[in-house]
Amino acid sequence: MPVKNRFAELQAEITEWRRDFHEHPEILFETHRTSAIVAEKLEAFGCDEVVTGIGRTGVVGVIKGKATGSGKVIGLRADMDALPIHEATGLGYASKTDGAMHACGHDGHTAMLLGAAKYLSETRNFDGTVVVIFQPAEEGGGGGKEMCDDGMMERWGIQEVYGMHNWPGKPTGSFAIRPGAFFAATDQFDIVFEGKGGHAAKPHETVDTTVMAAQAVLALQTITSRNADPVDQIVVSVTSFETSSKAFNVIPQTVHLKGTVRTMSNTMRDLAEKRIKEICTGIGATFGGTADIKYHRGYPVMVNSEEQTEFAAEVAKSISGQCDDAPLVMGGEDFAFMLEERPGAYILVGNGDTAMVHHPEYNFNDEAIPAGCSWWAEIVEKRMPAA
């Protein structure tokens, strides 16, 4: 089966919604306008229940099938937030807000899930209940986690969850997925080396934190190259090196390092945290100073469940004729928290030959809408078939 005819009909309307969201990007939990429009549309479609304020600015809509005797409840999730990037697409509907841009295609995700909600409210051709989930703050704010913490899964009895992300460089409307670990855990570290500042011409009277921190930057590379099993994926990147001195003749009292760790398993995550602490504490002591280390755990590894992934791939194949094996992605995804609470699957839909997500020239491809919406609708109709 190719895309559903109804979505070919709805594509122009869904595109209009998408471009309106694109023109008015909102960052993290500040998705007030977007959330209001989403809630308004869900009401207009005739959803059985629409609730705002879940996970601060998140929105939930409930659509009951013709029958609900199966007792099944499926959650479909889209993200709504934009990025703090200055848009450089030159599009007629480019961002009207300086320093904010839909550079990850969440405008498209929101519009596609709204399109699916409209269709499912019209047809109700399933036996069970659909919960459409619109979350804020995917880009580093943990909006999905906040919706879970607000008791969303329990409140609506959600049993399985599905998510989707557009993917530049992949043919428009084609799909890719993988079971098991898919997106990386994303952690951050803050390390402050403290020594004894002083005159750069009298180094023997100081404890030089620059030397300490420089040693640490190099030694941290050995977590990946010497501590981790070579078949495991791990990235340790130091991304900021800031000394407390701006002068050429002062040895700084402190140096502050920042960085990120990306891993695909809790074993690697634990290893990275342990080694960062050991290495930096050791280096501080070796050079006569101290190291204060803060390791902050961000999004966990996003793990696709076996059964739901197989099912999601079958649905994708029925729509676009194929479903590729997706590569591991070392980026993070807030949907990981929902997949920790319920089994489910997350799929990539091709965005065609566009700039990569998070690039100022990126744009969501509206031609992917029929395939994306069809996947949502088919997940529901095939997983909870009407009698």
Mapped onto helix, strand or coil, the DSSP state of residue 350 is strand
Binding segment toward Zn ion, per CB under 5 A, in 4-12, 102-110, 114-122, 243-251:
102-110
Q: Residue 358, annotated ligand binder? A: yes
Rounded to the nearest 5 degrees, what angle is found at the Cα of 59, between the Cα atoms of 54 and 62?
105
Nearer to Zn ion, 101 or 152 (CB): 101
Measured distance CA(76)–CA(173) in Å, rounded: 18
Number of H helices, E strands in the chain: 10, 16
Q: Which of 104, 130, 329, 377 binds Zn ion (CB under 5 A)?
A: 104
Nearer to Zn ion, 110 or 253 (CB): 110
Q: Residue 139, annotated ligand binder? A: yes
Nearer to Zn ion, 310 or 361 (CB): 361
Least distance from C-beta 103 to Zn ion, angstroms?
7
Residue span 260-299 as binding mask against Zn ion, x where in contact by CB under 5 A, dash where not: ----------------------------------------
Residue 272 — φ and ψ, nearest 5°? Answer: -60, -45
Binding segment toward Zn ion, per CB under 5 A, in 14-22, 28-36, 97-105, 316-324:
97-105
Q: What is the dihedral of CA 20, 23, 24, 25, to 10 degrees?
A: 110
Least distance from C-beta 88 to Zn ion, angstroms?
17
Residue carrying structure tokens 């620059």: 210
- The answer to whether 365 and 378 have CB atoms below 8 angstroms apart is no
Axis-axis angle for helices 369-383, 106-123 (nearest 10)? 50
> Which residue number places its CB atom closest to Zn ion?
104
Residue span 234-253 as binding mask against Zn ion, x where in contact by CB under 5 A, dash where not: --------------------
Nearer to Zn ion, 104 or 303 (CB): 104
Nearer to Zn ion, 104 or 223 (CB): 104
Q: Check the CA dihedral 149-154-159-163 and report its sign.
A: negative
CB atoms within 10 A of CB 13: 14
Please spell the DSSP secondary structure of 297-343, one letter per residue: E-S--EEE-HHHHHHHHHHHHHHHS--EEPPPB-S--THHHHHHHS-
Q: Residue 373, annotated ligand binder? A: no
Chain centroid to Cα 182, Å, comes to: 12
Least distance from C-beta 138 to Zn ion, angstroms?
6
Rounded to the nearest 5 degrees, what angle is found at the Cα of 83, between the Cα atoms of 81 and 88?
125
Least distance from C-beta 344 to Zn ion, angstroms?
17
Residue 82 — φ and ψ, nearest 5°? Answer: -105, -175
Least distance from C-beta 106 to Zn ion, angstroms?
6
Least distance from C-beta 343 to Zn ion, angstroms?
22
Binding segment toward Zn ion, per CB under 5 A, in 18-26, 56-64, 104-112, 218-226:
104-112
Nearer to Zn ion, 104 or 301 (CB): 104
Number of residues that bind Zn ion (CB under 5 A): 1
Nearer to Zn ion, 106 or 124 (CB): 106
Annotated binding residues? 104, 106, 139, 165, 358
Annotated binding residues for Mn(2+)? 104, 106, 139, 165, 358
| Residue ranges binding Zn ion (CB under 5 A) | 104
